[in-house]
Structure 1
Amino acid sequence: MSAATSISDDGAPLPPPPDIPEKADLAAWLGVAAGAIGSLMATLDISIVNASLPTIQGEIGASASEGTWLATSYLVAEIIIIPLTGWLARVFGLRRFLIAAAFFFTLFSIVCGLSTSLAMMIVGRVGQGITGGAMIPTALTIIATRLPKSQQPVGTAIFGLTVIMGPVLGPLVGGWLTENFSWHYAFFINVPIGAILLALLLLGLPKGRMQLDELVNADWLGVLGMILGLGGLTVVLEEGHREQWFESGYIWRLSVIALLGFLMIAAGQIYAKRPVVKLALLRKREFAAVFFLGTILGGSMYGTAYVIPQFLAGIANYNAMQAGLIVFLTGVPAMLMMPLFPILLARVDLRVIVGTGMILLALSCYIDIDLTAESRGGDFVISQLLRGLGTVFCMMFLNQAAISSVSIDDAGDGAGLFNAGRNLGGSVGLALLATLQDGRMEYHRWTIHSALSANSATLQDWLGQQSMTMGGGPDGAEFAMRMLDGMVLRDAMVMAFSDDFTALTVAILIVAPLVLFLRPLPENYQAKVSH
C-alpha cells in the first residue's frame, strides 16, 4: 500500500505504510529530538525579547513604538512561512530544508545579538522568523513520517511540550539573561543550541531528493497570496490597536493588500495543479475541527500570556522576572503530564480529553474574572495551574489529532495549516484583547467618575485630607485630584482586565462543542499504543 492510499474510503486513517518500521530506530528518534529542539527555539524566540525590550530599544536608539517591531517582524515572517513549509520541504527535501533553516536561524540570531541599529535588528528578526517558522510544523511532519503510529504519541508529547514551554519560558529566559548578563545573550544562546540541532538533523533525517520541477509548476499565485494575505493581516492585527484601527489610512491600505492576498490564495486553490497549501483538508470534518480548536487555543495561550503580565505590571508593580515566574506556572502541568500522554491517548476517547481541556481553560479564565486591585501573583497560582493542565489536554492531543486525521502524504500541509491557525489565533486574540481592554478601561473610568458626587461630604473630606498632606492651596488640591484620578484609573484597569477574562471564557465555551466533530483514533491504533 502506498502512502497516498493511507486513508480509507470512509476517511479513517489506516495503519502506517510498510516502509515505516513497527519500532523506530535511534536515527528516527534523533530526528524527532531535532524537530522538538527546533520548535522550542522558534517558539521561545517569539517572546524572548519582551522582557529585555526597554533595554534593547535604548541601546539601538529605537522609540517605544519602533521597538514593537522587534516582536511584530518576527511574528509576521513566521506566520507567512509556516503554511509554506510543506511545499518547501517537498521541493528541497525535508533534511536539506531543515539543515538550511537551522543554519540560517543561528546566523540571524548572531545578527540580532550584534545589532547596533533598528534596521539591523529588524533584518535579523525577520530572518529568525522565516527560518524559525520553518522548524515548527516540520517537527510534526518528522513525527508523522519517521515514527510508526504506535510510537507517535511519545513524539507528539515531546513536540507538545516544546510548543507549550516556548512562550512561557521566553520572557523568563530573556529577563534572566538581560538582568544577569546582557540582552545580547538572549540571541547568542541560540548558537550552541543551533550547533546541536544541526548535528541531530544530519544524524537523524535520511537524505531525500529534491523536486525542483515543483518550482516551475508551483502555485506562485498562492505563494504570493500567502505573503500578502497573511503578512498584511498579521500587521493589521499587531498595529491596528496602536493606529486606532480603521481611522488610519495605513491600516486601510494593509487591509486591502491582505484581502487581495486571500483572493490570490483562493484563485490558486481553483486553478493550480497542486496548490501551495492544501486548504481542501479543511473540508474534512475532523481536521477542520482540529484547526478551529487550535486557533482558539492559540488565542487563549498567547492572550493570557499577554494579559497576566500586563495586570501584574500595572496593578501589582511586578517586574518582568516576577511576572515571568507566574506565567511559567502554566508549564508545570505540561512537564508533569508528558509521561502520561501515551497512556491517556490509548485509554481515553480523544473527544473526552480535549473537551475536558477546553472546560479547564474556560474555568481558569472564569476564576480570574474576580480580580481586585489587591490581587497579586499568588492569586493566579490556581488558575495558572488549571490553565496549564487544560492547555496540555488540548494542545498535545490536538497535535496528535492533526497528524492522525490526514494521510502521510498530507502530513506537511496538515501540520502547516494547524500551526498557522494556532499562531494566527494568537495574533487575533492579542489584537482583540488589547482593543477590548482599552475600550472597557475608558468606559469604566468615566462610569466611576460619573458616580462620584462633588457634593459628597465623604469625598470632600478625603480630598481635603489629601490636599493638606501637600500643604493645602492650589497645589494641594491638584495633588488630591490627581490621586483620586489615579485610584479611579487603577480600579478601571482591574475591571477591564476582568472583562478580558470574561471574553476569553465565553470564546472558549462557544467553540468547545467542536470537540464532538473530532474523530476518535481507530481501535487498532489505540491497541498498538496501549502495548
Structure 2
Amino acid sequence: MAVLLKPTPNWEEHEKPTLPGSASMPYHTPAVRLAYACVALLVGITGGLGNALVTANLATIQGQLGLTPSEGAWLPAAYVMVNITVNMLVFKFRQQYGLRLFAEIGLGLYAAVTLLHLLVGGFAMAVLVRAASGFAAGTATTLSMLYMLQAAPRAYTGKMVVIGVGIPQLATPLAWLLSPTLLVFGQWHNLYLFEAGLALCSLAAVVVLKLPPGMHVKVFEKKDFISFALMAPGAAMLVAVLAQGYSHWWFDEAWLAWLLIGAVVFILAALFVEHHRENPLLQTRWLVTPNILRFIVGAFLIRFLTSEQTFGAVGLLRTLGMGPDQMQPLFVVILAGTIVGMLASALTFSPRTLIAQLIAAIVLFGVAAMIDYGRTSLDRPEDFFLSQFLVALGSGMFMGPLVFLGISQALKYGPNYVVTFTVVLSLTQSLGAMTGSALLSTYQLHREQVYSSALTADINPADPQVALRLQQQQGVYRALITDPVQRAAQGTALLSQIARREANVRAFNDVFALSGMLALAFLSWSLFVAIRASVRNRRAAAAAVATATASPNPAPPGATKA
C-alpha cells in the first residue's frame, strides 16, 4: 500500500486527483481557467521550441560556431538522449515530490545553462544547452497537459488532454516562422537569448500560478536508480548511432558498431534487472503482451511517417535552394494544419473515435505522400501547401488518441504501469522521428547516387542536344572567363550540378513513394487489427447471449414437479 508523505486535503469527490502525482481538480473562475490555459500553452511550446530553433537553423549555427556536420548532429542528439531517459523518472518524481519542483529545477537549469552559453560559447556548451533543454522538456509536455486540465471542468478532461499533449507539436512550425526575424538582427546569440527568455517566462509562470495540490506518496526505490543507470547510457548510445550513422556512413566507422553493441548490452541488462524486481520501474511482462507490442509498433510507425514532412518536403526545398525566408508561408500553412488537427481531434474525442482518428491520420499521411510524388525542380513552397497541410492535420490529430489508447491499457493494471507507458511513448516518438530521418536520408542518398550515375552516363558531348546545352552553360561565363578551355570546363561542371540536382529531385520522389507505400501497408494492417477485434467482440457478445438464453430458468420457490 502506498505511503502518504503529506496529509491530503478534504477533497470533494469531483476534486480528487486521478492518480498520485496528478493535480486535484477544484473549481476555478473563468479568468483563472484562462490563465491556466495560457500557462499550458507557454510551457508546452517552451519544451520543444528551443530544440526546434536549433534544428531549423542547424546549418547556420554550424557555420557561425565553426562546427563540422558531424559535430552539428550532436546538438539535436543531445536533446533526445536526455529527454527519452529523464522520462523514466518524471512520473515517479511527481508522485513523490510533485511535478512543480521538478519543473522549477529543469526550467531553472535550462535558463541558466542557456545564458551561460551566451557568455562562453563553443561546441561543448552548445551540447550542454541541448541536454539541459531535453531535461526541461521532459516535464514540459506533462506540465502542459496538467495545466490544460485546469482550464475546463472535469467533464472535458479527455478533450483537454488532447489539446495539452498536442501543444508541443506547435514548436516546429513556430521555430521556422520565428527564425528569420531572430537571425536578421544578429547571429546565433539571438536564438539562444530567445530560448533563455522563454525558459525564464515559463519558470515565472509555473511559480506564480501553481497547480492545485495532489497526493504525494513514497514510490522511489534504490533499484530504480540502478535500472536508470543502465537504461540511460543504452538509450543514449542508440540515439548516437542514429544521429551519426548518416554523417560517418553506417558501415565505415567501427565505433558506430561498438556503440550499437553497447546500447544492446545496457538496455538488455536494464530489462533483466527490471524483469526480476518485485516492484519494477518497467513492467517487462506487460511489454511483451500482444496489445502492447501492437501499440509499440503502431506508435513508432505513425511517428516515422511524419518524417515525410520534416525530411521529405523540407529536405527537397532545401536542396532546391529554399531557405527559412522562402519557406515561411509554407510553415504558416503547417501551423494552421496542426492547430486544426488538434482541435478536430479534441472536438470529436470519445472512446469510440480513438481508432478512427488514428486511421484518419494514417490516410492523411498516405494521401500527402501521393500528392508529393512527381515533384520537379520547378516546384516551390506554395506547391506543397495542400500536401503539407494534410500531413500537419494528421500530426495534430494522432497524438491525443495515441496517448489515451496507451494510458487506458496501462490503467487496467494499475498506476505503476503508467511509468512503463510513459517510457514507451517517449521512446517510440523520439526514436521513430530519428529513425525516420536517418533511414529516409540514407535511402535518398542511395537513390540520388543511382540517378546521378544514370544521368551522367547519358551525357555525351557528341549528342547535338547535349552539345547545345553545354554551349548554353558556357555562355553564362562568357563575360567572366575569356579562356575558352576554362569556360568549357566551367560549363561542363555547371551541367553536372544541374544533373545532380535533378537526381536529388528524383530521389526525393522515391522517398515520397516509399512513405506512401509504408502508409498504405500500415493502414491495411491497422484495418485488419481493428476488424478482427470487432469480429471477436461481436462473437463474444453473441456467445454470451446464447449462453444466457440456453441456460434453464431456476424453478420458483415452492414449485413441485407435475
Kept after mapping to 2: 8 A contact 1:289/1:517: no
Whole-angstrom distance in 1 between the partners of 2:433 and 2:14: 33
Kept after mapping to 1: 8 A contact 2:237/2:262: yes
Q: Could you tell me which of 526, 529, 532 is aligned with 1:514?
A: 526
Q: Across the two proteins, how many residue pairs are aligned to each other?
A: 506
Which sits farther off after the overlay, 254-263 or 147-156? 147-156
Q: Could you tell me which of 314, 334, 339 is aligned with 2:338?
A: 334
Q: Could you tell me which of 175, 183, 200 is aligned with 1:178?
A: 183
Whole-angstrom distance in 2 between the partners of 1:147 and 1:403: 21
CA-atom RMSD, angstroms? Answer: 3.4
Report Cα offsets for 1:445-500 as digits up to 9, x if no partner.
00122233454232234334544664573213212211221121011010111111
Which sits farther off after the overlay, 118-127 or 345-354? 345-354
1:253 aligns with 2:264: no
Matches within 5 A, 1:129-278: 129-137=134-142, 139-140=144-145, 150-202=155-207, 203-206=210-213, 209=216, 211=218, 214-218=220-224, 220=226, 222-278=227-283
Whole-angstrom distance in 1 between the partners of 2:513 and 2:139: 35
* Higher relative contact order structure (alpha carbons within 8 Å, sequence separation ≥ 6): 1
Q: CA deviation at 1:65?
A: 3.3
Whole-angstrom distance in 1 between the partners of 2:155 and 2:527: 23
Task: Provide the identity percentage.
Answer: 18
Matches within 5 A, 1:46-195: 46-137=51-142, 139-140=144-145, 150-195=155-200
Matches within 5 A, 1:18-33: 20=18, 25-26=27-28
Whole-angstrom distance in 2 between the partners of 1:42 and 1:510: 33
1:353 aligns with 2:357: yes
Kept after mapping to 1: 8 A contact 2:338/2:392: yes
Whole-angstrom distance in 2 between the partners of 1:280 and 1:170: 40
Distance 1:113 1:476, change over 3 A: same
Which sits farther off after the overlay, 459-468 or 270-279? 459-468
Whole-angstrom distance in 1 between the partners of 2:461 and 2:77: 45
TM-score by length of 1: 0.84
SS in 2 for 1:329: helix
Q: CA deviation at 1:111?
A: 2.7
Q: CA deviation at 1:133?
A: 2.5
Whole-angstrom distance in 2 between the partners of 1:440 and 1:342: 40
Q: CA deviation at 1:386?
A: 1.2
Amino acid at match of 2:465: T
1:452 aligns with 2:459: yes
The match for 1:474 is: 485
Amino acid at match of 1:62: L
Kept after mapping to 1: 8 A contact 2:149/2:161: no
Amino acid at match of 1:509: L
1:424 aligns with 2:435: no
Which runs of no fewer than 5 residues in structure 2 stay unpaired?
Answer: 3-12, 535-562
Distance 1:85 1:104, change over 3 A: same
Distance 1:156 1:18, change over 3 A: closer
Distance 1:194 1:461, change over 3 A: closer
Report Cα offsets for 1:412-461 as digits up to 9, x if no partner.
44233213211110010010011111111011100122233454232234
Amino acid at match of 2:399: M
TM-score by length of 2: 0.80
Whole-angstrom distance in 1 between the partners of 2:528 and 2:112: 45
The match for 2:508 is: 497
Matches within 5 A, 1:307-318: 307-315=312-320, 317-318=321-322
Amino acid at match of 1:369: Y
Which sits farther off after the overlay, 114-123 or 493-502? 114-123
Which sits farther off after the overlay, 231-240 or 352-361? 352-361
Q: CA deviation at 1:66?
A: 2.2
Distance 1:32 1:414, change over 3 A: farther
Distance 1:243 1:50, change over 3 A: same
The match for 2:366 is: 362
Whole-angstrom distance in 2 between the partners of 1:392 and 1:465: 48
Whole-angstrom distance in 2 between the partners of 1:143 and 1:280: 33
